[in-house]
Amino acid sequence: MKILLVYPSTDTSGLSQDLVMLEPLSLEYLAAGVSQQHKVKILDLRLGRNLTREITDWKPDMVGITGFTFHTPEMIALSQEVKRASRDIKVLVGGHHATFYPKSFMLPTVDIIIRGPGEEIIDNILSGSALSRIPGLGYKEGSEWAFNPGWPPFREKTPRHELINSSHYHALGINCSSTFATRGCPYACRFCDVTKFYQRKHELRTIESVIQEIQSLPTKLIVMVDDNIGINPNFLTKFVDSLAEADVRKKYITTMGVREILANKKALDKWFDIGLCGIFVGLERVDDKELVGLGKKVTYSMNDAAISFIHSRGGIIIGNLIVLPTDTEDDFKRLQEYIRSREIDIPGISILTPLPGTELWDEDKGSEEFQKYDLVHAVTPTTLEGAQFYRYFHQLYANLNGRRVVFKIIKNIGLGKWVFKLPRVYRGMKRLTNAVAK
Protein backbone atom coordinates (compact mmCIF):
# COMPACT_ATOMS: atom_id res chain seq x y z
CA MET A 1 0.00 0.00 0.00
CA LYS A 2 1.07 3.58 -0.66
CA ILE A 3 -0.05 6.45 1.56
CA LEU A 4 0.42 10.13 0.82
CA LEU A 5 0.38 12.35 3.93
CA VAL A 6 -0.68 15.93 3.24
CA TYR A 7 -0.17 19.16 5.19
CA PRO A 8 -2.45 22.08 4.10
CA SER A 9 -1.22 25.29 2.51
CA THR A 10 -3.41 27.69 4.51
CA ASP A 11 -1.50 30.70 5.76
CA THR A 12 -2.79 33.33 8.18
CA SER A 13 -1.61 36.75 9.22
CA GLY A 14 -0.80 35.33 12.65
CA LEU A 15 1.14 32.35 11.37
CA SER A 16 2.94 34.02 8.48
CA GLN A 17 5.35 31.68 6.75
CA ASP A 18 7.71 34.64 6.33
CA LEU A 19 8.14 34.65 10.12
CA VAL A 20 8.13 30.96 11.01
CA MET A 21 7.54 27.77 9.08
CA LEU A 22 8.31 24.57 10.95
CA GLU A 23 8.47 21.16 9.34
CA PRO A 24 5.29 19.02 9.42
CA LEU A 25 6.54 17.00 12.39
CA SER A 26 3.16 15.43 13.15
CA LEU A 27 3.19 13.77 9.72
CA GLU A 28 6.81 12.67 10.14
CA TYR A 29 5.85 11.02 13.42
CA LEU A 30 2.75 9.46 11.85
CA ALA A 31 4.93 8.13 9.03
CA ALA A 32 7.16 6.47 11.64
CA GLY A 33 4.21 4.22 12.43
CA VAL A 34 4.06 2.87 8.85
CA SER A 35 5.86 -0.48 8.50
CA GLN A 36 8.37 -1.16 5.74
CA GLN A 37 5.91 -3.23 3.75
CA HIS A 38 4.10 0.00 2.89
CA LYS A 39 5.35 3.16 1.17
CA VAL A 40 4.80 6.62 2.59
CA LYS A 41 5.36 10.10 1.24
CA ILE A 42 4.81 13.57 2.75
CA LEU A 43 3.40 16.45 0.70
CA ASP A 44 3.68 19.89 2.31
CA LEU A 45 1.38 22.16 0.34
CA ARG A 46 2.89 25.25 1.99
CA LEU A 47 5.79 24.76 -0.41
CA GLY A 48 3.64 25.35 -3.48
CA ARG A 49 3.20 21.69 -4.41
CA ASN A 50 0.15 20.35 -6.25
CA LEU A 51 -1.94 17.54 -4.79
CA THR A 52 -3.57 16.37 -8.03
CA ARG A 53 -0.22 16.22 -9.80
CA GLU A 54 1.26 14.22 -6.92
CA ILE A 55 -1.65 11.77 -7.03
CA THR A 56 -1.30 11.39 -10.79
CA ASP A 57 2.45 10.82 -10.59
CA TRP A 58 2.74 8.67 -7.46
CA LYS A 59 -0.67 6.93 -7.48
CA PRO A 60 -1.26 6.46 -3.73
CA ASP A 61 -3.83 4.03 -2.37
CA MET A 62 -4.61 6.28 0.58
CA VAL A 63 -4.29 10.00 1.28
CA GLY A 64 -4.07 11.21 4.88
CA ILE A 65 -4.81 14.89 5.59
CA THR A 66 -4.05 16.62 8.88
CA GLY A 67 -4.62 20.12 10.19
CA PHE A 68 -5.91 22.35 12.94
CA THR A 69 -9.35 23.95 13.21
CA PHE A 70 -8.50 26.86 10.90
CA HIS A 71 -7.39 24.33 8.25
CA THR A 72 -10.85 22.71 8.15
CA PRO A 73 -12.20 24.33 4.94
CA GLU A 74 -9.00 23.49 3.06
CA MET A 75 -8.93 19.92 4.42
CA ILE A 76 -12.46 19.42 3.12
CA ALA A 77 -11.49 20.88 -0.27
CA LEU A 78 -8.45 18.58 -0.40
CA SER A 79 -10.60 15.52 0.29
CA GLN A 80 -12.79 16.56 -2.64
CA GLU A 81 -9.72 17.02 -4.83
CA VAL A 82 -8.55 13.50 -4.00
CA LYS A 83 -11.90 11.97 -4.94
CA ARG A 84 -11.99 13.93 -8.19
CA ALA A 85 -8.60 12.44 -9.04
CA SER A 86 -9.74 8.90 -8.16
CA ARG A 87 -12.78 7.58 -6.32
CA ASP A 88 -10.75 4.48 -5.42
CA ILE A 89 -8.35 6.36 -3.13
CA LYS A 90 -9.25 6.13 0.55
CA VAL A 91 -9.19 9.50 2.36
CA LEU A 92 -8.18 9.70 6.01
CA VAL A 93 -8.34 12.88 8.09
CA GLY A 94 -6.82 13.50 11.51
CA GLY A 95 -5.49 16.18 13.81
CA HIS A 96 -7.00 18.21 16.63
CA HIS A 97 -10.16 19.39 14.89
CA ALA A 98 -10.95 15.95 13.46
CA THR A 99 -10.49 14.54 16.96
CA PHE A 100 -12.82 16.87 18.81
CA TYR A 101 -15.30 17.87 16.10
CA PRO A 102 -15.39 14.97 13.64
CA LYS A 103 -18.78 16.21 12.43
CA SER A 104 -16.89 18.56 10.10
CA PHE A 105 -15.50 15.59 8.18
CA MET A 106 -18.46 13.21 8.12
CA LEU A 107 -18.67 13.72 4.37
CA PRO A 108 -18.93 11.60 1.20
CA THR A 109 -15.30 12.48 0.36
CA VAL A 110 -13.88 11.21 3.68
CA ASP A 111 -13.57 7.50 4.50
CA ILE A 112 -11.83 7.38 7.88
CA ILE A 113 -11.43 9.84 10.78
CA ILE A 114 -8.49 9.30 13.14
CA ARG A 115 -9.17 10.66 16.62
CA GLY A 116 -6.15 11.31 18.83
CA PRO A 117 -2.52 10.53 17.96
CA GLY A 118 -2.52 8.12 15.02
CA GLU A 119 1.03 6.74 14.77
CA GLU A 120 0.19 3.50 16.58
CA ILE A 121 -2.89 2.69 14.51
CA ILE A 122 -1.95 3.90 11.01
CA ASP A 123 -0.26 0.62 10.08
CA ASN A 124 -3.34 -1.35 11.16
CA ILE A 125 -5.45 0.75 8.80
CA LEU A 126 -3.02 0.27 5.92
CA SER A 127 -2.73 -3.47 6.55
CA GLY A 128 -6.47 -4.04 6.35
CA SER A 129 -7.19 -4.77 10.02
CA ALA A 130 -10.84 -4.73 11.03
CA LEU A 131 -11.65 -1.05 11.49
CA SER A 132 -14.10 -1.90 14.29
CA ARG A 133 -11.18 -3.06 16.45
CA ILE A 134 -9.08 0.11 16.16
CA PRO A 135 -9.54 2.40 19.19
CA GLY A 136 -10.96 5.87 18.63
CA LEU A 137 -11.47 5.40 14.90
CA GLY A 138 -14.37 6.85 12.93
CA TYR A 139 -15.37 5.09 9.70
CA LYS A 140 -18.29 4.43 7.41
CA GLU A 141 -20.56 1.43 7.79
CA GLY A 142 -22.58 1.65 4.63
CA SER A 143 -24.09 5.13 4.62
CA GLU A 144 -23.68 5.62 8.38
CA TRP A 145 -20.68 6.63 10.50
CA ALA A 146 -19.43 4.51 13.40
CA PHE A 147 -16.99 5.65 16.11
CA ASN A 148 -15.04 3.19 18.22
CA PRO A 149 -14.52 3.69 21.95
CA GLY A 150 -11.05 4.01 23.43
CA TRP A 151 -8.01 6.09 22.48
CA PRO A 152 -4.93 5.26 20.41
CA PRO A 153 -1.97 4.25 22.59
CA PHE A 154 1.42 5.98 22.72
CA ARG A 155 4.58 4.11 21.81
CA GLU A 156 7.83 5.85 21.11
CA LYS A 157 8.99 6.33 17.55
CA THR A 158 11.59 8.47 15.81
CA PRO A 159 10.11 10.97 13.32
CA ARG A 160 10.86 10.25 9.65
CA HIS A 161 12.84 13.43 8.94
CA GLU A 162 14.21 11.94 5.73
CA LEU A 163 10.76 12.36 4.16
CA ILE A 164 11.09 16.17 4.07
CA ASN A 165 13.68 18.64 2.83
CA SER A 166 14.85 20.51 5.94
CA SER A 167 16.18 23.45 3.90
CA HIS A 168 12.61 24.74 3.48
CA TYR A 169 11.93 25.31 7.17
CA HIS A 170 12.95 28.19 9.38
CA ALA A 171 12.32 30.32 12.47
CA LEU A 172 12.81 34.06 11.87
CA GLY A 173 14.81 33.22 8.76
CA ILE A 174 17.10 30.73 10.53
CA ASN A 175 17.05 27.27 8.99
CA CYS A 176 15.86 24.85 11.65
CA SER A 177 14.71 21.32 12.38
CA SER A 178 12.04 20.27 14.87
CA THR A 179 11.62 17.43 17.31
CA PHE A 180 10.24 16.73 20.77
CA ALA A 181 11.33 14.82 23.86
CA THR A 182 7.91 14.77 25.56
CA ARG A 183 4.29 15.03 24.53
CA GLY A 184 1.17 16.16 26.29
CA CYS A 185 0.38 18.16 29.40
CA PRO A 186 -1.57 17.23 32.56
CA TYR A 187 -2.77 20.78 33.23
CA ALA A 188 -6.24 22.03 32.39
CA CYS A 189 -5.95 25.52 30.91
CA ARG A 190 -9.41 26.41 29.68
CA PHE A 191 -8.24 27.55 26.24
CA CYS A 192 -6.00 24.56 25.39
CA ASP A 193 -6.98 21.18 23.91
CA VAL A 194 -3.58 19.47 24.38
CA THR A 195 -4.55 17.96 27.73
CA LYS A 196 -7.58 16.23 26.26
CA PHE A 197 -5.80 15.21 23.05
CA TYR A 198 -3.19 13.29 25.07
CA GLN A 199 -5.66 12.19 27.75
CA ARG A 200 -4.02 14.20 30.58
CA LYS A 201 -0.75 12.32 30.10
CA HIS A 202 2.80 13.63 29.80
CA GLU A 203 4.54 11.04 27.66
CA LEU A 204 8.34 10.71 27.70
CA ARG A 205 10.56 9.45 24.93
CA THR A 206 13.78 7.65 25.80
CA ILE A 207 16.54 10.20 26.16
CA GLU A 208 18.99 8.15 24.13
CA SER A 209 16.72 8.13 21.07
CA VAL A 210 16.13 11.88 21.28
CA ILE A 211 19.88 12.59 21.55
CA GLN A 212 20.63 10.35 18.57
CA GLU A 213 17.88 12.04 16.56
CA ILE A 214 19.15 15.54 17.37
CA GLN A 215 22.69 14.55 16.39
CA SER A 216 21.40 13.34 13.03
CA LEU A 217 19.50 16.52 12.18
CA PRO A 218 21.23 18.67 9.54
CA THR A 219 20.51 22.12 10.96
CA LYS A 220 22.24 24.06 13.71
CA LEU A 221 18.99 25.29 15.26
CA ILE A 222 16.60 22.76 16.80
CA VAL A 223 13.08 23.81 17.79
CA MET A 224 11.77 21.53 20.54
CA VAL A 225 8.01 21.54 20.08
CA ASP A 226 7.14 19.78 23.34
CA ASP A 227 3.92 21.04 24.87
CA ASN A 228 5.84 21.68 28.11
CA ILE A 229 9.24 20.00 28.34
CA GLY A 230 9.79 20.83 32.02
CA ILE A 231 6.88 19.01 33.67
CA ASN A 232 9.10 16.11 34.80
CA PRO A 233 12.19 17.71 36.45
CA ASN A 234 14.13 14.43 36.64
CA PHE A 235 13.64 13.84 32.93
CA LEU A 236 14.66 17.38 32.00
CA THR A 237 17.79 17.19 34.16
CA LYS A 238 18.84 13.85 32.65
CA PHE A 239 18.08 15.13 29.14
CA VAL A 240 20.26 18.22 29.58
CA ASP A 241 23.02 16.18 31.23
CA SER A 242 22.94 13.74 28.30
CA LEU A 243 23.16 16.60 25.78
CA ALA A 244 26.23 17.87 27.62
CA GLU A 245 27.87 14.43 27.86
CA ALA A 246 27.25 13.75 24.16
CA ASP A 247 28.76 17.15 23.31
CA VAL A 248 25.91 17.89 20.90
CA ARG A 249 26.82 21.21 19.30
CA LYS A 250 23.38 22.60 18.49
CA LYS A 251 21.24 25.60 19.43
CA TYR A 252 17.76 25.16 20.89
CA ILE A 253 14.43 26.89 21.28
CA THR A 254 11.99 25.12 23.58
CA THR A 255 8.55 25.52 25.16
CA MET A 256 8.11 25.61 28.91
CA GLY A 257 5.56 26.83 31.42
CA VAL A 258 6.31 29.51 33.99
CA ARG A 259 6.14 27.09 36.94
CA GLU A 260 8.49 24.71 35.18
CA ILE A 261 10.99 27.48 34.41
CA LEU A 262 11.11 28.47 38.06
CA ALA A 263 11.36 24.84 39.23
CA ASN A 264 14.14 23.90 36.79
CA LYS A 265 16.57 26.81 36.97
CA LYS A 266 19.58 24.58 37.61
CA ALA A 267 18.89 22.39 34.57
CA LEU A 268 18.09 25.43 32.44
CA ASP A 269 21.32 27.15 33.52
CA LYS A 270 23.23 24.15 32.20
CA TRP A 271 21.16 24.06 29.02
CA PHE A 272 21.82 27.74 28.35
CA ASP A 273 25.52 27.00 28.79
CA ILE A 274 25.43 24.35 26.05
CA GLY A 275 23.10 25.91 23.50
CA LEU A 276 19.62 26.86 24.73
CA CYS A 277 18.91 30.27 23.22
CA GLY A 278 15.17 30.87 23.53
CA ILE A 279 12.05 29.80 25.42
CA PHE A 280 8.45 30.02 24.26
CA VAL A 281 6.48 30.70 27.44
CA GLY A 282 2.78 31.20 28.02
CA LEU A 283 2.40 34.41 30.02
CA GLU A 284 -1.21 34.85 28.86
CA ARG A 285 -2.43 37.82 30.97
CA VAL A 286 -1.13 40.56 33.28
CA ASP A 287 -3.61 40.15 36.14
CA ASP A 288 -3.87 37.36 38.72
CA LYS A 289 -7.67 37.14 38.53
CA GLU A 290 -7.56 36.84 34.73
CA LEU A 291 -4.88 34.14 34.95
CA VAL A 292 -7.10 32.13 37.30
CA GLY A 293 -10.02 32.65 34.93
CA LEU A 294 -8.02 31.00 32.14
CA GLY A 295 -7.23 28.01 34.33
CA LYS A 296 -3.59 28.98 34.85
CA LYS A 297 -1.86 27.91 38.07
CA VAL A 298 0.56 30.84 38.09
CA THR A 299 0.59 34.43 39.27
CA TYR A 300 1.62 37.75 37.78
CA SER A 301 4.71 37.80 40.00
CA MET A 302 5.68 34.26 38.92
CA ASN A 303 5.52 35.39 35.30
CA ASP A 304 7.84 38.28 36.13
CA ALA A 305 10.28 35.96 37.90
CA ALA A 306 10.43 33.64 34.87
CA ILE A 307 11.00 36.60 32.54
CA SER A 308 13.80 37.91 34.77
CA PHE A 309 15.50 34.51 34.80
CA ILE A 310 15.47 34.15 31.00
CA HIS A 311 16.77 37.71 30.62
CA SER A 312 19.55 36.97 33.12
CA ARG A 313 20.78 34.23 30.79
CA GLY A 314 20.51 36.36 27.66
CA GLY A 315 17.79 34.10 26.26
CA ILE A 316 15.18 35.11 23.70
CA ILE A 317 11.72 35.36 25.27
CA ILE A 318 8.90 34.34 22.95
CA GLY A 319 6.02 35.33 25.19
CA ASN A 320 2.46 34.36 24.43
CA LEU A 321 -0.19 36.82 25.58
CA ILE A 322 -3.92 36.40 25.15
CA VAL A 323 -6.32 39.13 24.09
CA LEU A 324 -9.85 38.68 25.37
CA PRO A 325 -12.80 39.60 23.12
CA THR A 326 -14.03 41.70 26.05
CA ASP A 327 -10.82 43.77 26.21
CA THR A 328 -11.18 47.54 26.21
CA GLU A 329 -8.75 50.23 25.08
CA ASP A 330 -7.30 50.30 28.61
CA ASP A 331 -6.72 46.52 28.53
CA PHE A 332 -4.82 46.79 25.26
CA LYS A 333 -2.70 49.59 26.72
CA ARG A 334 -1.87 47.41 29.74
CA LEU A 335 -0.73 44.58 27.47
CA GLN A 336 1.30 46.98 25.37
CA GLU A 337 3.01 48.47 28.41
CA TYR A 338 3.72 44.98 29.78
CA ILE A 339 5.42 43.88 26.56
CA ARG A 340 7.57 47.02 26.56
CA SER A 341 8.43 47.15 30.26
CA ARG A 342 9.29 43.42 30.49
CA GLU A 343 11.18 43.53 27.20
CA ILE A 344 9.35 40.56 25.71
CA ASP A 345 11.61 39.96 22.72
CA ILE A 346 9.03 38.32 20.47
CA PRO A 347 5.41 38.85 21.55
CA GLY A 348 3.09 36.10 20.37
CA ILE A 349 -0.39 37.59 20.62
CA SER A 350 -3.48 35.43 20.27
CA ILE A 351 -7.19 36.12 20.64
CA LEU A 352 -8.98 33.88 23.11
CA THR A 353 -10.68 31.30 20.90
CA PRO A 354 -13.11 28.51 21.91
CA LEU A 355 -11.35 25.67 20.09
CA PRO A 356 -13.11 22.29 19.98
CA GLY A 357 -11.82 20.10 22.79
CA THR A 358 -11.49 22.97 25.27
CA GLU A 359 -13.63 24.12 28.19
CA LEU A 360 -14.27 27.33 26.30
CA TRP A 361 -15.82 25.40 23.42
CA ASP A 362 -18.10 23.50 25.79
CA GLU A 363 -19.25 26.75 27.42
CA ASP A 364 -19.40 29.22 24.54
CA LYS A 365 -19.07 27.94 20.99
CA GLY A 366 -18.22 30.55 18.42
CA SER A 367 -19.37 30.62 14.82
CA GLU A 368 -18.49 27.72 12.55
CA GLU A 369 -16.46 29.89 10.21
CA PHE A 370 -13.53 27.66 11.06
CA GLN A 371 -11.09 29.45 8.76
CA LYS A 372 -11.17 32.24 11.36
CA TYR A 373 -10.10 29.95 14.21
CA ASP A 374 -6.45 30.89 13.69
CA LEU A 375 -6.12 32.81 16.99
CA VAL A 376 -5.87 36.16 15.19
CA HIS A 377 -9.59 36.56 14.46
CA ALA A 378 -12.29 36.98 17.09
CA VAL A 379 -14.98 34.32 16.67
CA THR A 380 -17.10 35.58 19.58
CA PRO A 381 -18.48 39.13 19.98
CA THR A 382 -15.99 41.86 20.95
CA THR A 383 -16.61 44.75 23.31
CA LEU A 384 -14.82 47.19 21.01
CA GLU A 385 -16.12 47.82 17.51
CA GLY A 386 -14.50 45.38 15.07
CA ALA A 387 -12.09 47.69 13.20
CA GLN A 388 -10.97 49.33 16.45
CA PHE A 389 -10.44 45.96 18.16
CA TYR A 390 -8.23 44.67 15.35
CA ARG A 391 -6.29 47.92 15.12
CA TYR A 392 -5.32 47.66 18.79
CA PHE A 393 -4.66 43.93 18.42
CA HIS A 394 -2.26 44.25 15.51
CA GLN A 395 -0.50 47.20 17.12
CA LEU A 396 0.61 44.90 19.94
CA TYR A 397 2.94 43.16 17.48
CA ALA A 398 4.61 46.47 16.74
CA ASN A 399 6.24 46.18 20.17
CA LEU A 400 8.70 43.60 18.83
CA ASN A 401 12.15 45.12 19.28
CA GLY A 402 13.85 43.99 16.07
CA ARG A 403 17.29 45.28 17.02
CA ARG A 404 17.27 43.50 20.37
CA VAL A 405 16.07 40.24 18.81
CA VAL A 406 18.72 40.34 16.06
CA PHE A 407 21.41 41.10 18.65
CA LYS A 408 20.33 38.13 20.79
CA ILE A 409 20.21 35.82 17.78
CA ILE A 410 23.71 36.85 16.71
CA LYS A 411 24.95 36.42 20.29
CA ASN A 412 23.32 33.01 20.76
CA ILE A 413 23.48 31.48 17.28
CA GLY A 414 26.11 33.48 15.43
CA LEU A 415 26.24 35.54 12.29
CA GLY A 416 25.21 33.38 9.35
CA LYS A 417 23.39 33.30 6.03
CA TRP A 418 20.11 33.74 7.92
CA VAL A 419 20.88 37.49 8.05
CA PHE A 420 20.10 37.71 4.32
CA LYS A 421 16.57 36.48 5.06
CA LEU A 422 15.83 39.32 7.47
CA PRO A 423 14.11 41.45 4.79
CA ARG A 424 11.62 38.61 4.32
CA VAL A 425 11.07 38.38 8.08
CA TYR A 426 10.65 42.16 8.23
CA ARG A 427 8.01 42.03 5.49
CA GLY A 428 6.18 39.31 7.40
CA MET A 429 6.16 41.42 10.56
CA LYS A 430 4.94 44.49 8.69
CA ARG A 431 2.19 42.40 7.16
CA LEU A 432 1.16 41.33 10.65
CA THR A 433 1.16 44.78 12.24
CA ASN A 434 -0.66 46.33 9.28
CA ALA A 435 -3.18 43.51 8.88
CA VAL A 436 -6.84 44.30 8.48
CA ALA A 437 -9.33 41.65 9.55
CA LYS A 438 -11.22 40.11 6.69
Look up the CATH number of the domain holding residue 222. Answer: 3.20.20.70
Does 177 lie in the same domain as 116?
A: no
Does 103 lie in the same domain as 17?
A: yes
pLDDT of residue 435: 56
The Cα-based distances of 177 to 139, 145, 406 in angstroms read: 34, 38, 20
Do 111 and 81 meet the contact criterion of CB atoms below 8 Å apart?
Answer: no
Mean pLDDT in residue range 28-36: 96
Does 178 lie in the same domain as 71?
A: no
pLDDT of residue 437: 46
Does 213 lie in the same domain as 72?
A: no
Mean pLDDT in residue range 392-418: 79
Q: SS3 of 370, please?
A: helix
Q: Is residue 390 part of a domain?
A: yes
Mean pLDDT of the chain: 92
Q: Is residue 90 part of a domain?
A: yes
Does 38 lie in the same domain as 175?
A: no
The Cα-based distances of 269 to 205, 214, 251, 287 in angstroms read: 22, 20, 14, 28
pLDDT of residue 408: 84
Does 119 lie in the same domain as 59?
A: yes
pLDDT of residue 65: 98
Query: Per-residue confidence at 429, pLDDT binned at 50, 70, 90?
Result: low
Domain span including residue 391: 169-433
Q: Name which of 1-5, 116-120, 130-134, 410-414 the model is least confident about.
A: 410-414
Mean pLDDT in residue range 49-77: 96
State pLDDT tens for residues 309-367.
Answer: 999 999 999 999 999 999 999 999 999 999 999 999 988 899 999 999 999 998 877 77
Mean pLDDT in residue range 236-255: 96
Q: Is residue 83 part of a domain?
A: yes
* Backbone dihedral region for residue 147 (phi beyond 0: left; psi -120 to 50: alpha; all else: beta): beta
Question: In this structure, what CATH number is given to the domain that contains residue 75?
Answer: 3.40.50.2300
Q: Is residue 158 part of a domain?
A: no
State pLDDT tens for residues 194-206.
Answer: 999 999 899 999 9
Total domains in the fold of the chain: 2
Does 255 lie in the same domain as 177?
A: yes
Q: SS3 of 382, please?
A: coil
pLDDT of residue 428: 66
Do 375 and 14 meet the contact criterion of CB atoms below 8 Å apart?
Answer: yes
pLDDT of residue 414: 78
Mean pLDDT in residue range 239-254: 96
Does 360 lie in the same domain as 219?
A: yes
Residue 380 has, within 13 A of its CA and on its CB side, a CA count of 17
Mean pLDDT in residue range 261-288: 97
Rounded to whole angstroms, the Cα distance separating 98 from 372 reads 16
Does 176 lie in the same domain as 125?
A: no
pLDDT of residue 98: 97
Do 321 and 349 meet the contact criterion of CB atoms below 8 Å apart?
Answer: yes
Does 230 lie in the same domain as 137?
A: no
The DSSP letter of residue 174 is: E
Query: Per-residue confidence at 404, pLDDT binned at 50, 70, 90?
Result: confident
